[in-house]
Amino acid sequence: MNATRGHLSALAAIVAAGIAVAFGVHDQVTLELVFTFLLYAVLGQSWNWISGYAGNISFGHAIFFACGAYASGLLVTAGASPWLAFVAGALAAIVLAVVTGFPTLALRGHYFSIATIAVAALVEVTVRVVPWLNGANGFELPIRTGWGALEFADKGNYVLLALVLFAAVQLATIGLERSRLGYYLRALRANYAAAESVGIDERRWKLLAFAASAVMASAAGVLYAQDTLFVDPPSVLGLSVSIDIALIGVVGGLGTLWGPAAGALVYVVLAKGVALHIGGSGKGYDLVIYGAIICIIAALRPDGIVGAIVNRQRRVRGAAGSDALAAEPT
């Protein structure tokens, strides 16, 4: 299992580096950037399960992120432990995924994508209108500290938590690629007719992937809420949030293990990091840089950063002839 060992080593290295940063770095701005990177890598990976591996490109993934964020807001404001938000958010996310996925997952291509926009908009409106979700005001979480309250003055601990989530999500994805679900999703994406002919029930398997992806996004939402201490419709449910998540997944490479991390790196380091140095995101400079990078990658590496590498590896391996080793996904 050479490839798997490689991935696990890479993951271990990243976790080790993350721990070093969490304990060693004290500049809060840098820590916040690392935290954002990890969160977006998780969100990108969760999006990747349904849009990359399964091929249903979603522009409404923020709704699951919001499940966790709002769960946090609700529970903390109500005096409960924020740790429960992981469970509550996950449950809400699963229900939402099943309810919205059941009618839409069988839609093809762009029709599905537009449906996700429509669903997300409807969810946003519902959240604004339902009184116990505080409408347009959202939730402001009270400032506390400590592991019990899941809030910290030093961002280092947030980085640690995000690292745990990132590692869990990556391990789950490594497992996905080697599982029946993974094979079935790839088959559905590659050729629906052929997939059906070998007994794959599209709705059942895509719903499973959708629900799993929703849970991951929700967990990221909880951490986000505990960090920024503010949750409202535009910040967690807006179309731009969904678009950001989608772009990270696509730039990195659809259906690849490390694509989302690569995409998140581009987003955070180049767009946000550079923009901070140039001066202010109100001027649109971060958008110009980010947009230019995306265009360049799209033109030169249309499979995405990691996708280009993975596809080349597979083509080379295929041309090399037979291999005594049992095949494994790269």
Partner 1 sequence: MALRRRREARHLADARVEALSTFGQLLVAGLLTGLVFALVAVGLTLVYGVMDVVNFAHGEFVMLAMYAGFGLALLGIGPLVGLPLVSIALFLFGIVVYRLFVRRLLTGPPEASVFGTFGLLVLMQGLAQALFTSDYRSVPNPPFQGTVQLGVFALPQAALVEGLGAIVLTAALFAFIEYSSVGRAMRAVSEDRTAATLMGIDVQRINLLAFGLGSACAGAAGALLLLSNPAFPDVGASFALTAFVVVALGGFGSIAGALLGALIVGVLEVLGGYYLSPELKMMPVYLAYLFVVLVRPQGLLGRR
Partner 2 sequence: MSALLTVSGLSKRFGSLRALDGVELTVEAGRLTGLIGPNGAGKSTAFGCIAGALKPSGGSVRYDGREIAGMPYHKVARLGIGRTYQIVQTFADMTVLEAVTTGALLHRPRVREATAHAEEILAFVGLDTKRHRLGNALTIADKKRLEVARALATDPALLLLDEVMAGLTPAECRDAVDLLRRILARGITILMVEHVMEVLMPIAEHIVVIAAGKTIFTGSARAAVRDPAVVEAYLGAPIEHGAIGMPS
> Contact residues for partner 2 (CB under 8 A)?
178-180, 183-184, 186-187, 190-191, 193-202, 311, 314-315, 317-323, 326-327, 329
The nearer residue to partner 2, 143 or 193, going by C-beta atoms, is 193
Residues 241-260 contacting partner 1, CB under 8 A: 243, 246-247, 250-251, 254
CA dist 217 and 40 (Å) reads 9
Verify binding: residue 190, partner 1, rule CB under 8 A.
Answer: no
Among 15, 21, 84, 118, binds partner 1 (CB under 8 A): 118
Stretch that binds partner 1, among 7-15, 79-87, 101-109, 192-200 (CB under 8 A): 101-109
143 makes contact, choosing from partner 1, partner 2, none, with CB < 5 to 8 Å by partner type, with: none
User: Does an H or E element contain 139, and which?
Assistant: strand 139-140
The nearer residue to partner 1, 225 or 297, going by C-beta atoms, is 297
290 makes contact, choosing from partner 2, partner 1, none, with CB < 5 to 8 Å by partner type, with: partner 1
Among 30, 293, 329, 330, binds partner 1 (CB under 8 A): 293
The nearer residue to partner 2, 202 or 286, going by C-beta atoms, is 202
Q: Which of 276, 255, 235 is nearest to 45 (CA)?
A: 255
Q: Are residues 71 and 92 in contact, defined by beta-carbon separation less than 8 angstroms?
A: yes
Q: Which residues of 61-70 are buried (b: 16+ CB within 10 A; e: fewer)?
A: bbbbbbbbbb
CA dist 38 and 40 (Å) reads 5
Q: Are residues 213 and 229 in contact, defined by beta-carbon separation less than 8 angstroms?
A: no
Q: Which residues of 11-47 are buried (b: 16+ CB within 10 A; e: fewer)?
A: beebbeebeebbeeeeeeeebbbbbbbbbbbbbbbbb
187 makes contact, choosing from partner 1, partner 2, none, with CB < 5 to 8 Å by partner type, with: partner 2
Q: Which two tokens stand for residue 95?
A: 């229900």
Give the per-residue contact string, 48-77, with partner 1 (x = CB under 8 A; - = no): ---------x--------------------
Verify binding: residue 122, partner 1, rule CB under 8 A.
Answer: yes
Q: Which of 73, 72, 108, 57 is nearest to 213 (CA)?
A: 57
The nearer residue to partner 1, 165 or 185, going by C-beta atoms, is 185
Verify binding: residue 234, partner 1, rule CB under 8 A.
Answer: no
96: amino acid identity, one letter: L
Half-sphere exposure of 91 (CA within 13 A, CB side): 6
The nearer residue to partner 2, 41 or 208, going by C-beta atoms, is 208
Residues in touch with partner 1 (CB under 8 A): 57, 103-104, 106-111, 114-115, 117-119, 121-122, 125, 128, 239, 243, 246-247, 250-251, 254, 282-300, 302-304
